[in-house]
Amino acid sequence: MEDFTATDPVIRAADTALPLKGLTALGRIELPVLLTRGSTAARPRPVTPGAALDVVKAHLEVRDIVQAEVLRRNTGGYVAQVLGREAFIPGSHSTVKMATVASEDDPLVGKTIPVLILEIKPVSKQLVVSHREAKQELAAREREAAEAARMARQQAREALMQQRALEMSLVSIGHIIEGQVDYCNPKFIALRAGALTIRVGLDELGWGRDHPVPELGDIKQVVITSRDEEKMLLHGSIRLLTPDPWLSAEVNYPPQKESVAKVINIANFGLFVELEPGVEGLLHRSAIPDAPADVELKDHFSVGDEALVLIEHVDAAQRRLSVRLPFPLSQWPRFKELLQRLQSTATARDQALAEVESWQAQAAAQVALVEQQQTEHALHQEQWHRQADEFAAALETARLELDAEQKQRQEQQRQQSQQLSVIQTQLEVAQQTVTRLQSSLEATREELSQQQASNRLRLSANQQLEQRLRTAQQQATAAQREAATAKEALRATLSASPGSTSTEQALYARAIQELFYETSSKSGYPYHCLISYLPTRVQATPAQQQDRQCVYNFKDGQNPALVAYRLATTLLRSFSPVVLQQMMLVVIPASTQAKTKSRYQTFCQLLCQLTGIENGYECIQRVVDEEPKKGLVNVNKVNNLRYTDARIPGRHILLFDDVMTSGASFLQNAAALRTHGASQVTGLFLARTVDTRGF
């Protein structure tokens, strides 16, 4: 018999209905009983089915949080089911104060809550779990995760700022960067280029008032204009990628020139008009002939109207332009009607040109179709010739076979007279085959003759199409000659503009037929001089005096447009546009930075706009102002110069100076440019000093 323990239940003799006499200690009987005192938790319980014990121990060792379903509440806590096994949650390890909450109102009963396994009872294998420690562990884990996420974000931001600082160190003002539009608002747009953020104000998108705002994701190029080191931002401009229209406004809109302008705003004192995007002017009401003092301009003009105006004054430095109306206000409705008619006529002309281009495309398609048909007919003809040759070869083979058969029959007639009839029958069959082949050959020849006749008709149609194409080409050539005549007339109009002097008009007229005065090379470097320069101590002809005065004026910064125009016309006549577009214009600085700017800045912009040459005005910079070193041969003229432009390597440099005397400055600067990576250096000079030793 097993030994009794203190936890085993005891039945008093008074509580049993059976006599205890006769029962021995070794007996065992089963009796129904009613528990009156004690707790069911004190008795050993069998292990409930559920997860394997090693799985539970694994969760216990790693302090894993599991889910528990609360089944009921007892006096000491809660009975729950964890991993399919029975578990006990002590009241001190719950989040509910059991003394203040009734059993039927307990919020945990019937709920699934997170718990942490504390221990496994060694005898009953019952689990003891804690809801309070599970919530504390979850809170600690959430804090750790939040801290880890914060540290990760901080590290990512620090890495981004380091990368942004590195990329900003590689970017300087004036660089062109390509980025993607990342943000837009009513004041600016933001572009993302790697780790860099570039802000572009809306007024920097274009020179005009109306300019399209990019959409998110668009790829744009910007010119860096400023840096914000504190905020690690770059500021850029898109409109600086195109020339400022005011730089050429004085050339494009000389006084007394007529031009079409669009009304962009109406005020009491006049109209604001736009000649081109970015170039705006004022049409004062006093500049409108026959306009009463109390007239309302809004009653006659509307925003968006186009009017013919006469240029009065252009101040490019102040960006101001004034115009006047060349006709009375009473004629404005008629002018507006005529302008609408001209626009409709231009639309009709464009439609006619489109129809001509469509006809040319159709003609080209027809020519291609005819050529394809000719190719197919040639292939068919070649196939027919091949079949005819095969038929002729078959006929020849048949004839040879017939001769062989005849010889065989003659030989067999002497030996086998009984086979004569069979041989004659075979001979007739062979003759019929030859006849069919001949008929087929004749039919093939007839078909070939018909195809040749059809080809001759198509050839005649092709000749007519070619004649039409030649006529169209002659018309296109005549249109090109008319365009060239119009360009020459434009040049003549520009040279005879009212704002220029008689000397400048003569020089503009000379520029149309002007060639280089001298084209040669020095120490392997080719150079070109436009005019000759005769010193003042030598008597000069009127033309030489004009050239001498042109040099003096250019040195004083008075006629950069005239010199740019003369050099542009001569360069365009001497070089192809493809060669000019591959060059970069670089100037040899004057003795001071102020002289360099006044003499060359506007000149370089105009010459590059007229010829398509890239502007490298700032490639060579003088470090410190100094006295001129003209005529000195054995003096180092480049030790005070700095070559900093990154565009020099691999480029064909067009090196410009005003006057070439000994060529020492040209040779030293050309050698320095080659040292800095230039692939080729060509000299360009306004004038070449004439050797006066023989005068």
Q: pLDDT tens, 630-643?
A: 656 577 888 889 99
- Looking at the predicted structure, is the pLDDT value of residue 584 above 90? yes
Q: Which residue has the higher pLDDT, 378 or 692?
A: 378
Q: Give the chain's mean pLDDT.
A: 79
Q: 91: which 2 tokens? A: 């009241």
pLDDT at 424: 75
pLDDT at 56: 86
In terms of C-beta density within 10 A (0-12 exposed, 13-18 middle, 19 or more buried), how is residue 687 classed? buried
Contact 550, 498 (CB under 8 A): no
pLDDT at 652: 94
At 325-352, the pLDDT tens digits run 888 877 777 777 777 777 676 666 667 6
Q: Which residue has the higher pLDDT, 387 or 148?
A: 148
- Looking at the predicted structure, is the pLDDT value of residue 185 above 90? no
At 380-402, the pLDDT tens digits run 888 888 888 888 888 888 888 88
pLDDT at 26: 41
Architecture, CATH, for domain 176-241:
Beta Barrel (2.40)
> CATH: 2.60.40.1930, 2.60.120.10, 1.10.10.10, 2.40.50.140. Which one for 245-327?
2.40.50.140
Q: What is the mean pLDDT of residues 213-242?
A: 85
Q: Which residue has the higher pLDDT, 11 or 453?
A: 453
Sketch the domain layout of the chain as residue ranges: 42-131, 176-241, 245-327, 352-493, 502-689
Task: Report residue 367's pLDDT band, with 50, 70 and 90 as the boundaries.
Answer: confident
pLDDT at 31: 54
- Residue 246: which of 310, 332, 314 has the closest Cα? 314
- Looking at the predicted structure, is the pLDDT value of residue 33 above 60? no
Q: Confirm or reject CATH 2.40.50.140 for domain 42-131, answering yes or no.
A: yes
pLDDT at 410: 82
CA dist list (Å): 131 to 51, 107, 140, 389: 20, 13, 14, 104
Amino acid, res. 473: Q
- Looking at the predicted structure, is the pLDDT value of residue 486 above 70? no
At 585-620, the pLDDT tens digits run 999 999 899 999 999 999 999 999 988 999 999 999
- Residue 116: which of 164, 59, 183, 154 has the closest Cα? 59
Q: Which residue has the higher pLDDT, 136 or 502?
A: 136
- Looking at the predicted structure, is the pLDDT value of residue 498 above 70? no
Segment holding 503, helix H or strand E? helix 502-511
Q: Where does 502-689 sit in CATH, by number?
A: 3.40.50.2020
652 contacts: CB under 8 Å, gap ≥ 6:
582, 583, 584, 678, 679, 680, 681, 682
Q: Which residue has the higher pLDDT, 205 or 146?
A: 146
pLDDT at 489: 44
Residue 75 DSSP label: S
Task: Report residue 13's pLDDT band, with 50, 70 and 90 as the boundaries.
Answer: low
CA dist list (Å): 684 to 47, 516, 517, 571: 105, 10, 11, 10
Task: Report residue 80's pLDDT band, with 50, 70 and 90 as the boundaries.
Answer: very high
pLDDT at 497: 43
pLDDT at 114: 93
pLDDT at 4: 40
- Looking at the predicted structure, is the pLDDT value of residue 135 above 60? yes
Q: What is the mean pLDDT of residues 671-688?
A: 93
Range with the lowest mean pLDDT among 29-43, 127-141, 391-405, 576-590? Answer: 29-43
pTM: 0.34
pLDDT at 476: 45
- Looking at the predicted structure, is the pLDDT value of residue 474 above 80? no
CA angle in degrees (0–180, nearest 5) for 182-183-188? 125
Residue 242 DSSP label: S
Q: Which residue has the higher pLDDT, 371 or 685?
A: 685
pLDDT at 639: 86
Query: Helix (H, G, I), strand (E, B), or coil: what is residue 473?
Result: helix
pLDDT at 527: 94
Q: Which residue has the higher pLDDT, 420 or 164?
A: 164
pLDDT at 488: 56
The CB density around residue 31, as the number of other CB atoms within 10 Å, is 8
Q: Which residue has the higher pLDDT, 304 or 466?
A: 304
Tell me whether domains 245-327 and 502-689 share a fold: no
**Percent of the chain residues topping a pLDDT of 70:** 82
- Looking at the predicted structure, is the pLDDT value of residue 125 above 90? no
pLDDT at 490: 40
Task: Work out whether the CA dihedral 287, 288, 293, 296 comes out positive or negative.
Answer: negative
Task: Report residue 428's pLDDT band, with 50, 70 and 90 as the boundaries.
Answer: confident
Amino acid, res. 18: L
At 83-118, the pLDDT tens digits run 888 899 998 888 787 767 777 778 888 889 899 998
pLDDT at 38: 43
Q: Which residue has the higher pLDDT, 656 or 474?
A: 656
Segment holding 188, helix H or strand E? strand 188-193
pLDDT at 41: 36
β-strand pairing of 77-82 with 65-73: antiparallel
> Dihedral angle at the C-alpha atoms of 175, 177, 181, 183, nearest 10 degrees?
-40
Contact 69, 112 (CB under 8 A): yes
**Percent of the chain residues topping a pLDDT of 90:** 14
At 240-286, the pLDDT tens digits run 888 888 888 888 888 888 888 888 888 888 888 888 888 888 888 88
